[in-house]
């Protein structure tokens, strides 16, 4: 029996490694988004700084480990076998849950997941035990007061972080403005000294007492001399930064951002390491209690031993820190999660990942009306001064010069993000509250972006929808974690070791499947990004636009005919899976054309003045390409729905007619690709004649179908779908012809106006 539980402990530690990997992938956004968004330093330097913070912070986690042992449930009411069921269920569920969010690219809370998983698993086992022993109610098993404190602290952190970030950012921007170079020259050292001193105080003075490598005398001295340390720190950092600025002309804000990144990574490791290894360590401690009790039975040994203080060995924390550092460097999912946070807080407009929602529109409308009312009570002179501090005209000029290399936001906002978030997280850590680093850093970033007027009327509804989607994901995390772990705990309790092995196999399969999906998604995104046009010194040459347009158009219309053929072939074979794949391919084509169309504004804006006339042809080509792809959507989706609903497919005669159309259309598109690739349109008139022939055949086939309907030889659903395919094929042909004419005119214009 003892050997089985030893295997359980080993499995827990293996799962802990997996949890560290998926957890860091999710939580990297917490400490990387500000430095990466502001481009404070080369990516390698940012990663080294964050890695050092994580490694050092891992040794500060000892005090937090108690949460996994006695923070959510009362261990003295559970037997050793019960505890192992709870811990095993928690680890299996946590890995799956975090990996799902990483794959989607949404930041979620590892703290919320672990808290609700412990609560759900403990509740499941408590209910089972209560049915066997009604004398002890379920409420006795759960540490309700502590669980409520943790949950309320997590939820409160959302509001506190957002308000703190918005308020401090507003005041900071009023002082520095967007044109902060001049003021930074005189006050940069003072600002940096205050910021870094605040970080030093909360990490060194308040956080050092939890470090496993410090002796009691050192901790006591630091605690007793806190005021002296903070005063000396402020004076020392201010003087040091002033000296560095004078001697080396260093950017003080970059230093603050990198120190803040280090601090936030350190706070993350100190606060969130419990989420990844707290449960396995508690399981290991439980096993030691079991083996040190002679003659103990796992089904009768109560685990009151977990209620006391337990020292966590430094080497275990160091190993965990190393795994976190390696994951930080190698995880591509971490970059996807970081991108979501940076996109929602970026200063400039651009492609928005999220759509619009009723609630977001209502909030923006309400904010606009409230702003109008408030402005009536603010003196005109004060309003003018405030508006001047938020003038971004100079910032816009800088961004136009940098082009795609422009940061998402400036160093002032990045420094506020990091300082406010690191202070809030470290305070919570020292009060033993597992406050969610994801909640804090994300909501601070959203608060600062709101105060910084990054959410303009062009983007506000999309940004708010994105924020609400992420927050909704957090609540979904809590509900899902509790529900799933409740089920898993029951399966393990009644299924034993066999159930554990099956569940582990399911987890491995699930992660492998999500890994494949993520790589597919990543390749799709990289394929879309290939359509972007390169810039030179912030400008785009029309010849570059023409070349990129030629390559993009040729590639996409080739994909259009392939998917068109695939759709009709799968429909004829009643291949539902093939049709579903075709629909996904159509969606990907539409993403590419949408990307091109959304970039029209940026492309035209960055064209050189003498090339502006050529933008007319570029816009026409992209418009016709977008419409061509849309026609394919209205063919693939109805075909899939028809087969999915098990309706009767076409007759042999109808499929023969479609085969003729497919052959003619393939020939026309093949010739179109050659013309576009070679920029030679001498045969365009011949192709136009062929297209007219195809349109005439479509008219005849439409007439034949109407005759079949008249004679009642065709089903209603089938007739509607067949006529729809003919109609959309004709529209596709017409848009393709217009695209070729626009591309011909584009080429002709460039030939007559050589650079």
pLDDT at 725: 92
More confident residue, 137 or 612: 137
Cα–Cα–Cα angle for 409, 411, 413, rounded to 5 degrees: 65
pLDDT at 249: 81
- Neighbour-count burial for 151-190, b at 16+ CB within 10 Å, e otherwise: bebbbebbebbbebbbebbbebbeebbbebeeebeeebbe
- pLDDT above 70 coverage of the chain, percent: 76
Q: How confident is the model at residue 569 (pLDDT cuts 50, 70, 90)?
A: very high
Last residue of a domain, one of 491, 525, 559: 525
Check pLDDT > 80 for residue 213. Answer: no
At residue 540, φ and ψ (nearest 5 deg) are: -120, 130
Which range in 64-73, 199-208, 484-493, 538-547 is most confidently predicted, on average pLDDT? 484-493
Q: How confident is the model at residue 700 (pLDDT cuts 50, 70, 90)?
A: very high
Q: Are residues 459 and 576 in the same domain?
A: no
More confident residue, 60 or 37: 37
Summarised one tens digit per residue, pLDDT across range 510-565 is: 777 766 765 665 555 444 444 444 443 444 555 566 677 777 788 888 888 899 99
pLDDT at 579: 92
pLDDT at 554: 82
**Residues whose CB is less than 8 angstroms from the CB of residue 641 and which lie 6 or more positions away in sequence, other chains included:** none
Check pLDDT > 50 for residue 391. Answer: yes
In three-state secondary structure terms, 9 is helix
| Residue 588 included in any domain | yes
CA distance 103 to 114: 19
Beta bridge partners, 302, equal: 79
Last residue of a domain, one of 480, 495, 525: 525
CA distance 542 to 533: 10
pLDDT at 204: 67
Q: Are residues 511 and 565 in the same domain?
A: no
Q: Are residues 520 and 655 in the same domain?
A: no
User: Token pair of 625, please?
Assistant: 């390409």
Q: Are residues 447 and 545 in the same domain?
A: no
pLDDT at 607: 58
Last residue of a domain, one of 497, 525, 553: 525
| Residue 258 included in any domain | no
pLDDT at 403: 60
| Residue 434 included in any domain | yes
Range of the domain at 654: 530-752
Check pLDDT > 90 for residue 486. Answer: yes
Quote the number of domains for the chain. 2
Q: Are residues 408 and 534 in the same domain?
A: no
Say which residue the tokens 């990997």 belong to. Answer: 21
User: Token pair of 707, please?
Assistant: 């005759």
Q: Are residues 145 and 16 in the same domain?
A: yes
Beta bridge partners, 539, equal: 536
| Residue 177 included in any domain | no
pLDDT at 527: 47
Q: Are residues 521 and 550 in the same domain?
A: no
- The CA-based dihedral angle spanning residues 544, 546, 551, 554, taken in that order and rounded to the nearest 10 degrees: 170
- Neighbour-count burial for 628-662, b at 16+ CB within 10 Å, e otherwise: bbbbbebbbbbbbebbeeeeebbeeebeebbeebb
pLDDT at 272: 66
Least confident of 348-357, 435-444, 665-674: 348-357
Q: Are residues 98 and 8 in the same domain?
A: yes
pLDDT at 227: 75
Average pLDDT over residues 452-462: 71
pLDDT at 727: 92
CA distance 60 to 212: 6
pLDDT at 639: 92
**Residues whose CB is less than 8 angstroms from the CB of residue 589 and which lie 6 or more positions away in sequence, other chains included:** 556, 559, 560, 563, 629, 632
Using alpha carbons, select from 354, 357, 359 the residue that is nearest to residue 344. Answer: 354
Average pLDDT over residues 667-684: 85
More confident residue, 499 or 521: 499
CA distance 219 to 192: 27
Q: What string of H, E and C letters represents the secondary structure of 107-133?
A: CCCHHHHHHHHHHHHHHHHHHHHHHHC
Using alpha carbons, select from 400, 399, 371 the residue that is nearest to residue 386. Answer: 371
| Residue 252 included in any domain | no
Backbone dihedral region of 250: left (phi > 0), alpha (psi from -120 to 50 degrees) or beta? beta
pLDDT at 533: 46
Predicted model pTM: 0.67
pLDDT at 637: 92
Say which residue the tokens 């192709």 belong to. Answer: 687
Summarised one tens digit per residue, pLDDT across range 253-287 is: 888 888 888 887 877 776 666 667 778 888 888 88
Q: Are residues 450 and 593 in the same domain?
A: no
Query: Angle of helix 542-572 relative to helix 716-752, nearest 10 degrees?
Result: 160
More confident residue, 512 or 405: 512
How distant, in Å, are the alpha carbons of 78, 295, 485 from that of 300?
Answer: 9, 11, 24
| Residue 559 included in any domain | yes
CATH number assigned to the domain comprising residue 615: 1.20.58.220
| Residue 578 included in any domain | yes
Q: Are residues 701 and 563 in the same domain?
A: yes
Summarised one tens digit per residue, pLDDT across range 184-198 is: 888 888 888 888 887
Beta bridge partners, 79, equal: 302
Q: Are residues 513 and 550 in the same domain?
A: no
- The CA-based dihedral angle spanning residues 673, 674, 679, 681, taken in that order and rounded to the nearest 10 degrees: -100
Check pLDDT > 80 for residue 418. Answer: yes
Tell me the pLDDT of the chain averaged across its residues.
78
| Residue 473 included in any domain | yes
**Residues whose CB is less than 8 angstroms from the CB of residue 453 and which lie 6 or more positions away in sequence, other chains included:** 390, 392
Average pLDDT over residues 437-442: 76
- Give the N- to C-terminal CA distance of the chain in Å, as an integer: 82
Q: Are residues 586 and 715 in the same domain?
A: yes
């Amino acid at each position: 029996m003892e050997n089985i539980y030893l295997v359980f402990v080993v499995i827990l530690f293996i799962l802990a490694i997996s949890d560290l990997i998926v957890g860091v992938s999710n939580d990297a956004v917490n400490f990387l988004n500000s430095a990466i968004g502001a481009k404070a330093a080369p990516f390698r330097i940012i990663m080294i700084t964050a890695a050092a913070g994580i490694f050092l912070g891992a040794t500060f986690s000892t005090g937090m480990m108690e949460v996994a042992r006695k923070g959510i449930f009362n261990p003295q009411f559970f037997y050793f076998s019960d505890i192992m069921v709870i811990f095993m269920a928690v680890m299996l569920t946590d890995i799956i849950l975090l990996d799902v969010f990483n794959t989607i690219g949404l930041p979620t809370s590892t703290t919320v997941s672990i808290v609700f998983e412990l609560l759900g698993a403990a509740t499941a086992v408590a209910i089972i035990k209560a049915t066997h022993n009604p004398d002890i109610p379920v409420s006795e098993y759960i540490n309700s007061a502590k669980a409520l404190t943790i949950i309320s602290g997590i939820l409160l952190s959302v509001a506190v972080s957002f308000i703190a970030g918005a308020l401090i950012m507003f005041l900071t921007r009023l002082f520095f403005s967007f044109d902060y170079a001049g003021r930074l020259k005189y006050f940069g050292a003072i600002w940096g000294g205050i910021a870094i001193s605040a970080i030093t105080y909360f990490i060194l003075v308040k956080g050092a007492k939890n470090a496993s490598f410090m002796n009691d005398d050192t901790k006591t001295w630091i605690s007793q001399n806190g005021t002296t340390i903070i005063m000396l720190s402020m004076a020392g950092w201010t003087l040091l930064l002033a000296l560095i600025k004078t001697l080396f002309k260093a950017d003080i804000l970059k230093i603050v951002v990198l120190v803040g990144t280090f601090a936030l990574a350190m706070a993350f490791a100190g606060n969130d390491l419990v989420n990844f290894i707290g449960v396995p360590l508690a399981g290991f401690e439980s096993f030691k209690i079991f083996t040190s009790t002679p003659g103990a039975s796992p089904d009768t040994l109560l685990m009151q031993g977990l209620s006391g203080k337990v020292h966590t060995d430094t080497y275990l924390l160091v190993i965990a820190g190393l795994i976190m550092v390696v994951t930080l460097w190698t995880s591509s999912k971490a970059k996807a999660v970081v991108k979501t946070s940076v996109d929602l807080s970026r200063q400039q407009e651009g492609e928005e990942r999220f759509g619009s929602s009723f609630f977001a529109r209502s909030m923006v409308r309400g904010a606009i009306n409230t702003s109008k009312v408030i402005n009536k009570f603010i003196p005109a002179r004060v309003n003018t001064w405030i508006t001047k501090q938020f003038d971004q005209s100079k910032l816009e000029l800088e961004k136009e010069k940098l082009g795609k290399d422009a940061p998402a936001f400036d160093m002032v906002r990045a420094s506020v993000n990091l300082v406010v978030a690191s202070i809030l997280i470290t305070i919570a850590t020292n009060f033993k509250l597992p406050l969610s680093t994801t909640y804090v850093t994300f909501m601070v970033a959203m608060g600062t972006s709101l105060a910084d007027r990054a959410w303009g009327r062009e983007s506000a509804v999309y940004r708010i929808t994105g924020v609400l989607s992420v927050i909704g994901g957090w609540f979904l995390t809590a509900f899902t974690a509790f529900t799933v772990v409740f089920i898993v705990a029951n399966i393990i309790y009644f299924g034993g070791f066999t159930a554990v092995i099956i569940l582990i196999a399911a987890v491995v399969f699930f992660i492998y499947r999500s890994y494949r999906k993520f790589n597919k998604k990543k390749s799709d995104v990289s394929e879309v990004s290939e359509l972007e046009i390169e810039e030179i010194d912030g400008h785009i040459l029309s010849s570059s636009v023409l070349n990129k347009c030629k390559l993009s158009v040729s590639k996409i219309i080739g994909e259009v005919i392939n998917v068109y053929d695939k759709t009709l072939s799968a429909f004829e074979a009643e291949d539902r899976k093939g049709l579903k794949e075709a629909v996904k391919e159509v969606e990907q084509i539409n993403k590419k054309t949408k990307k091109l169309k959304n970039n029209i504004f940026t492309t035209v804006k960055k064209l050189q003045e003498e090339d502006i006339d050529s933008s007319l042809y570029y816009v026409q080509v992209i418009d016709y390409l977008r419409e061509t792809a849309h026609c394919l959507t209205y063919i693939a989706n109805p075909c899939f729905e028809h087969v999915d609903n098990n309706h009767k497919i076409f007759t042999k005669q109808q499929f023969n007619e479609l085969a003729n159309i497919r052959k003619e259309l393939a020939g026309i598109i093949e010739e179109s690709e050659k013309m576009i690739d070679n920029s030679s349109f001498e045969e365009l008139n011949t192709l136009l004649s062929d297209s007219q022939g195809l349109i005439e055949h479509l008219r005849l086939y439409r007439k034949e179908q109407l005759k079949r309907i008249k004679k009642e030889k065709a089903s209603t659903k089938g007739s509607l779908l067949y006529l729809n395919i003919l109609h959309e094929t004709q529209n596709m042909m017409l848009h393709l012809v217009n695209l070729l004419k626009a591309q011909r005119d584009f080429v002709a214009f460039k030939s007559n106006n050589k650079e």
